[in-house]
Structure 1
Amino acid sequence: MPVYTVHAPLTAGADLRSTDRFIFVRDGFHFWAAVLGVIWLAWHRLWLALIGWIIVVAAVDALLLWIGVGRGTVFVADVLLAILLGFEASSLERWSFSRGNWQQLDIVVGDDRDAAERRFFERWAARRGAPAYDNHTVDRGAPPPTRDNGGHPPPMPHYSIIGLFPEPGGGR
């Protein structure tokens, strides 16, 4: 199942009026970013990533040609760089949002984008209805389990324990 990260603009305050500005970024391989890297980066307005991509590809090609490798090797290097861009396209999108005035609200899993949106908004609405809601906290689940000894200290170790420090405060 695809994993999506949910981003919201900081200026909107992440309230009900700004939900139409939330962006869901799918994690995983982006085929069109690998096949048409420059066009994909421009389409998604990732301008710094586009400039960096052009510089990296030109530098790698120039370096390989300067070393004297064949054009087939340069082509293989370009294909490998394109595959790398396909894998890292969503990371570049998230990086671009983090540079701007955007915050990551949540990570959600769904069969498709619609299912992920439904799941996110159900959880988001439930959290907003909870008392003392804070926009900047993320629900990480229940607190870690604790040992309930009824207020008594932990039992002393038995003499049959084998180890470096068999009793608290013992010699080393």
Structure 2
Amino acid sequence: MTVFTVHEPPTTPPDRLDRAEAMVFLKDGFTWSAFLFGPLWLIANRLWLATLGYLAVAGLGYLILAAAGVDQALFGPFLIALNAVVGFEAHWLKTIKLEAGGWQTLGSVTGRGLADCERRFFAGWLPTQQMVRRAESTATSHAAAAQAQTATHDGTAEPRASKRGPFAFLSRPR
């Protein structure tokens, strides 16, 4: 089984389907590309501080091995171990970057692959979301407009017809 964490961007569109399209699923676990390409993977994912940390640890490791008089052939296994750390921590590094950018972690989901995890997550998430989220100020103004009454020529009050959009059939009745 594969585990994915689900992340939502800081500014989300009001429509739940657009919100679903903007979500990111990050695979939890060992990342082979991060292990094989270490610093290049960090640069490709714009993890600048992690790249600087990688270079600092690699440089410091080289200096320590050279100062200790250890054969330089041991620097290769040291870099392999450092890349293994990057491979194991790749998911965490990407999660930290997203959270620093204001992204919200919505949860995690398990499945046989990405498609299965997306299906499982959205099967539970979509029914709990409103069709279209409105901002607080626009929601109150729309509610006030819906409550407005107009007087007819004989003095009785009847509700004003609300203007419906082209996708009004998708919204739930209130």
Question: Is the Cα–Cα contact under 8 Å of residues 10 and 101 in structure 2 kept in the other structure?
Answer: no
Question: Is the Cα–Cα contact under 8 Å of residues 31 and 86 in structure 1 kept in the other structure?
Answer: yes
Aligned-partner Cα distance in 1 for 2:128–2:62: 51
Question: Is the Cα–Cα contact under 8 Å of residues 65 and 74 in structure 1 kept in the other structure?
Answer: no
Find the counterpart in structure 2 of residue 6 from structure 1. 6
SS at match of 1:11: coil
Aligned-partner Cα distance in 1 for 2:80–2:27: 23
The alpha carbon displacement at 1:38 in A equals 1.4
Deviations 1:100-155 (A, max 9, x none): 110101101111111111111111013226xxxxxxxxxxxxxxxxxxxxxxxxxx
Relative to the length of structure 1, the TM-score reads 0.69
Superposition RMSD in Å: 1.6
Residue type matched to 1:8 in 2?
E
Q: Matched residues, percent identical?
A: 34
Deviations 1:69-112 (A, max 9, x none): 11122221111111111111111111111111101011011111
Find the counterpart in structure 2 of residue 111 from structure 1. 112
Deviations 1:14-36 (A, max 9, x none): 85122222111101111111110
SS at match of 1:36: helix
Seen in structure 2, the aligned counterparts of structure 1 residues 107 and 124 have a Cα distance that, compared at 3 Å, is: same
Question: Is the Cα–Cα contact under 8 Å of residues 3 and 27 in structure 1 kept in the other structure?
Answer: yes
Find the counterpart in structure 1 of residue 39 from structure 2. 38
Aligned-partner Cα distance in 1 for 2:15–2:107: 14
Aligned-partner Cα distance in 1 for 2:78–2:68: 14
Seen in structure 2, the aligned counterparts of structure 1 residues 50 and 62 have a Cα distance that, compared at 3 Å, is: same
Instruction: Identify unmatched segments of 5+ residues in structure 2.
Output: 131-174
Find the counterpart in structure 2 of residue 159 from structure 1. none
Find the counterpart in structure 1 of residue 53 from structure 2. 52
Seen in structure 2, the aligned counterparts of structure 1 residues 70 and 15 have a Cα distance that, compared at 3 Å, is: farther
SS at match of 1:92: helix
Seen in structure 2, the aligned counterparts of structure 1 residues 58 and 14 have a Cα distance that, compared at 3 Å, is: farther
Find the counterpart in structure 1 of residue 170 from structure 2. none
Find the counterpart in structure 2 of residue 170 from structure 1. none
Question: Is the Cα–Cα contact under 8 Å of residues 8 and 14 in structure 1 kept in the other structure?
Answer: no
Instruction: Identify unmatched segments of 5+ residues in structure 1.
Output: 130-172
Higher helix fraction (1 or 2): 2
Kindly tell me the number of residue pairs found equivalent between the two proteins.
Answer: 129
Find the counterpart in structure 1 of residue 70 from structure 2. 69
Relative to the length of structure 2, the TM-score reads 0.69
The alpha carbon displacement at 1:13 in A equals 6.3
Seen in structure 2, the aligned counterparts of structure 1 residues 80 and 7 have a Cα distance that, compared at 3 Å, is: same
